[in-house]
Amino acid sequence: MRALVIGEALIDIVERDGQVTEHVGGSPLNVAVGLARLGRDVDFLTRIGTDAYGRRVGEYVESSGVQLVPGSTQAVRTATARAALDAAGSATYSFDIDWALTGTPEVPPPLIVHTGSIAAVLEPGCLATKALVDTYHLSATVTFDPNVRPALITDADAARSRIDRLLERADVIKASSEDLHWIDPTRPPEQIAAAWLALGPSIVVVTFGGEGAVAMCAAGTVRVPAGNVEVVDTVGAGDAFMTGLIDALWSMDLLGAERRARLAAIGTDALTEAVRAATLTAALTVAKPGADLPHRVERDAAAASDILS
């Protein structure tokens, strides 16, 4: 079975200490590549051009084992995100992107559909993204990471409404504490997560950077500390966490619409195991520059050495 990831692909232009480097990026792209590096079969529906940046994106995802869905190369130009890193490695973004999708992907029925970030809120493509999620919800697990990019949002209320509509379809939600503060600055992140869980998803996870993560399911709430690694930068950290979480649930045979009841019945021990795998994946990513998510052999070796302890 395969995963279908829907969302933006772009070139991250990273500025730090007066130096500029370029990396292939985009939150959904990172998840697609991350899952492929962990040995999963992945189809990626995106919007890039046939320019030099677009060719670079295509070569990157295909070399990682990701199948680019036909119709993904229709943009006039490939999007870019300029990331300015501070001394702690945290990024502030500005974007040049146009997001649109047409038609239904020519892919086999997926086991899981993942989307989020720019694809969830930027018109006109966000409308097609939501329609595809509605379609695949009948047969696939839906995972969602709002990964809010305020620099691209001109109508906050409209963006929050679009996020709400995707929350209603999602089985697994991951959000950072920063996302939740933007979405609702009047409530603590854990209170928002609990409210989201009441909407129907099986799992809601909130990440707190170096302070770890809190995950909620019907059986209860678990807390997992962050990995004990030296942070180079945080680019791709949330995407790596999402990748590790999806992969762990996949290994537990909890994905696919026919397993929705089993996913909803996940216990706190299994949820802790899944969040630890997600945390480890993120820890390995922040220890390297750019969104360089780990391969399976690298992550298994790190798991054996127990770097989270």
Residue 251 pLDDT > 90: yes
Structure tokens given for 295: 């391969």
What pLDDT shows up at residue 87?
A: 67
Residue 93 pLDDT > 80: no
Q: What is the mean pLDDT of the chain?
A: 92
Residue 173 pLDDT > 70: yes
**Domain ranges (residues) in the chain:** 3-297
- Please identify which residue in the block is written with the tokens 């290994």: 251
CATH class of 3-297: alpha beta
Residue 275 pLDDT > 80: yes
What pLDDT shows up at residue 23?
A: 85
For residue 88, the 8-state DSSP code is T
- DSSP for 49-62 reads -SSHHHHHHHHHHH
Residue 86's φ and ψ, nearest 5 degrees, are -90, -175
| pLDDT tens figures, 102-158 | 878 889 899 999 999 999 999 999 999 999 999 999 999 999 999 999 988 999 999
Estimate to the nearest angstrom the gap between the alpha carbon of 27 and the chain centroid.
5
Cα→Cα distances 255→3, 238, 298, Å:
10, 20, 24
Cα→Cα distances 240→42, 85, 196, 272, 280, Å:
15, 19, 22, 17, 9
What pLDDT shows up at residue 307?
A: 66
Please compute the mean of the pLDDT values over residues 61-71 and round it to a whole number.
Answer: 95
If one compares 17 and 56, the residue with the highest pLDDT of the two is: 56
Return the C-alpha torsion angle 11, 16, 18, 21, nearest 10.
-30
- Please identify which residue in the block is written with the tokens 């697990």: 141
Environment class of 93 (CB within 10 Å of its CB; exposed 0-12, middle 13-18, buried 19+): middle
Q: Tell me the whole-structure pTM to 2 decimals.
A: 0.94
**Cβ neighbours of residue 170 under 8 Å, at least 6 residues apart?**
142, 143, 144, 201
pLDDT grade for 95, boundaries at 50, 70 and 90: confident
If one compares 32 and 308, the residue with the highest pLDDT of the two is: 32
Integer Cα distance of 54 and 61 in angstroms: 11
| pLDDT tens figures, 204-250 | 999 998 899 999 999 999 999 987 887 777 778 899 999 999 999 99
Residue 88 pLDDT > 80: no
What pLDDT shows up at residue 271?
A: 98
Please compute the mean of the pLDDT values over residues 273-292 and round it to a whole number.
Answer: 88
Least confident among 13-27, 38-52, 172-186, 255-269: 13-27
**Torsion 258-218-41-104 (CA) sign:** positive
| pLDDT tens figures, 177-213 | 999 999 999 999 999 999 999 999 999 999 998 899 9
What pLDDT shows up at residue 230?
A: 76
Please compute the mean of the pLDDT values over residues 28-46 and round it to a whole number.
Answer: 97
